Amino acid sequence: MNLFDVYPLFPITPVKAKGSWLWDDKGLKYLDLYGGHAVISIGHSHPWYIEKLTSQLSQIGFYSNSVRIAQQEELAYKLGELSAYPEYNLFLCNSGAEANENALKLASFHNGRKKIIAFNNAFHGRTSLAVACTDDPSIQAPVNKNADITFLTLNDEEALEKAMSEEICAVIIEGIQGVAGVLVPTDSFLLKIKSLCELHGSLMILDEVQSGYGRSGKFFAHQSADVIPDIITIAKGMGNGFPIAGVLIAPHIKARQGILGTTFGGNYLACAAGIAVLDIIKKEELIENSRMMGEYMRQQLCAISTLKAVRGTGLMIGVQMRNQAAPVRKALLDDYQIFTGSASCKNTIRILPALNIQQEELETFLVALKKILETNP
């Protein structure tokens, strides 16, 4: 049997990782500024993370959600405390797409509606309803086409006001649009969504799958706007590589047994990974480090005159070139052994390192980027 050929692969085989570094099967060392799509939040192979998972595996690795799993309750408590949403309820699942599927389904259960507003350049996942809310026809099969999804321009308050009505089930928006190239919704736009949702009885869903868990310099990116969504979705940095995701649900949205479910969501190992991540973020003050290192990075990048734009907050940074970004990313990887991310806009590099990245590691990237831009501005 062969692998289903859907991924364009770098000719690199990592075999070891620690902190912000990877080593391949040839012994070559790489600086990881992408974290496998913003997944690595506390660095590779953190000792406490390894200890928590190893200890849990030696006791029990899995049972279904038909029994009480105390680790789920510990995870929910610690997540509520660190995120400043202690009064919300948590549904655990496995991936960002699954979290968004459940969030949209829950919103529809809540108000009995089915029309959804999403935004141009959005990415919410690759499963049925999540991909229907994703503004990329190339990854939507005919079965995913959904006439009940309306796409609007990000930050266009007038268009949003015109589109809202008592028929709208939910408005779903990313805390920061990641795949689009790190596009940030304005505070006033987020507040406008919330006020219109309250006016029309719709729900505001904040997709913090990529922008959450301290990546923006706050626990959630939307917290810069002082807005309170009805539902928040999380994944990626939540488990530092172990599959885990969640839906944070406001207390006015009532649970009913059977309306949501999952086989693997919230299993013992996933919870051990999630608890370890929260412990490390809190103990090592990684949200503050994300804010400080992100601020340093943006200051240094803004001083490079050959760049067209620098976007983002915390350690979620989009670096826009004047020309195509692919040659720069290739040079960074081939000549300097630095992993970075791409974006759907072809002129932007995404920087999404672990939240415990250090200044000297960022300087390694800055030196390399400046040298590359001298010959490929």
DSSP, residue by residue, 228-278? --SEEEE-GGGTTTS--EEEEE-TTS---TTSS--SSTT-HHHHHHHHHHH
- Token pair of 221 as six digits: 């990116």
Of the residues 248, 268, 283, the one at which a domain ends: 283
Residues 260 and 129 in one domain: yes
Which residue intervals of the chain are DSSP H helices? 35-38, 47-57, 70-83, 96-111, 128-132, 157-163, 187-200, 268-283, 286-302, 326-336, 359-375
Residues 240 and 308 in one domain: no
Asked, for residue 112, whether it belongs to a domain, the answer is: yes
Of the pLDDT bands very low, low, confident and very high (cuts 50, 70, 90), residue 376 is confident
183 by DSSP, 3-state: which? strand
Query: In whole angstroms, what is the distance from residue 353 CA to residue 347 CA?
Result: 19
Query: In whole angstroms, what is the distance from residue 347 CA to residue 345 CA?
Result: 6
Looking at the 3D structure of the chain, how many domains does it have? 2
Of the pLDDT bands very low, low, confident and very high (cuts 50, 70, 90), residue 377 is low
Asked, for residue 60, whether it belongs to a domain, the answer is: yes
Q: At a CB cut-off of 8 Å and minimum separation 6, what does 1 contact? A: none
Residues 237 and 289 in one domain: no
Is residue 230 over pLDDT 80?
yes
Q: Which of 73, 110, 99 has the alpha carbon at shortest distance from 271?
A: 73
- Token pair of 261 as six digits: 């479910």
Domain membership of residue 197 as a residue range: 47-283
Residues 136 and 270 in one domain: yes
pLDDT tens for each residue of 40-93: 999 999 999 999 999 999 999 999 999 999 999 999 999 999 999 999 999 999
Residues 289 and 259 in one domain: no
Q: What is the mean pLDDT of residues 149-169?
A: 98
Asked, for residue 162, whether it belongs to a domain, the answer is: yes
Residues 264 and 308 in one domain: no
Residues 227 and 359 in one domain: no
In this predicted structure, what is the pLDDT of residue 375? Answer: 85
Query: In whole angstroms, what is the distance from residue 106 CA to residue 33 CA?
Result: 35
> If you search the block for the tokens 């038909």, which residue do you land on?
66
Of the residues 283, 314, 336, the one at which a domain ends: 283
Q: What is the mean pLDDT of residues 92-111?
A: 98
Q: Which residues pair with 320 in a beta bridge?
A: 309, 348
Q: What is the mean pLDDT of residues 190-218?
A: 98
**Four-point Cα dihedral 76, 79, 82, 83, nearest 10:** -110
Asked, for residue 184, whether it belongs to a domain, the answer is: yes
Asked, for residue 4, whether it belongs to a domain, the answer is: no
Asked whether the beta carbons of 172 and 124 are under 8 A apart, the reply is: yes
- Hey, what amino acid is at 231? I
354 by DSSP, 3-state: which? coil
Query: In whole angstroms, what is the distance from residue 79 CA to residue 245 CA?
Result: 12
Asked, for residue 8, whether it belongs to a domain, the answer is: no
Asked, for residue 5, whether it belongs to a domain, the answer is: no
Q: What is the mean pLDDT of residues 153-174?
A: 98
Of the residues 229, 264, 283, the one at which a domain ends: 283
Asked, for residue 205, whether it belongs to a domain, the answer is: yes
202 by DSSP, 3-state: which? coil
pLDDT tens for each residue of 267-321: 999 999 999 999 999 999 999 999 999 999 999 999 999 999 999 999 999 999 9
Around Cβ 145, how many Cβ atoms within 10 Å?
Answer: 11
In this predicted structure, what is the pLDDT of residue 287? Answer: 98
Around Cβ 8, how many Cβ atoms within 10 Å?
Answer: 6
Residues 24 and 77 in one domain: no
Residues 102 and 19 in one domain: no
- Token pair of 376 as six digits: 């490929």
Which DSSP letter does residue 185 get?
P
- Hey, what amino acid is at 164? M
Residues 256 and 340 in one domain: no
- 121, with CB counted inside 10 A (0-12, 13-18, 19+), is buried
User: What average pLDDT does the chain have?
Assistant: 97
Give the CATH number of the domain where residue 56 resides.
3.40.640.10
Q: How many helices (H) and strands (E) does the chain have?
A: 11, 14
Q: In this prediction, what percent of the chain has a pLDDT beyond 90? A: 98
Query: In whole angstroms, what is the distance from residue 43 CA to residue 40 CA?
Result: 6
Residues 317 and 234 in one domain: no
Residues 200 and 303 in one domain: no
Is residue 266 over pLDDT 80?
yes
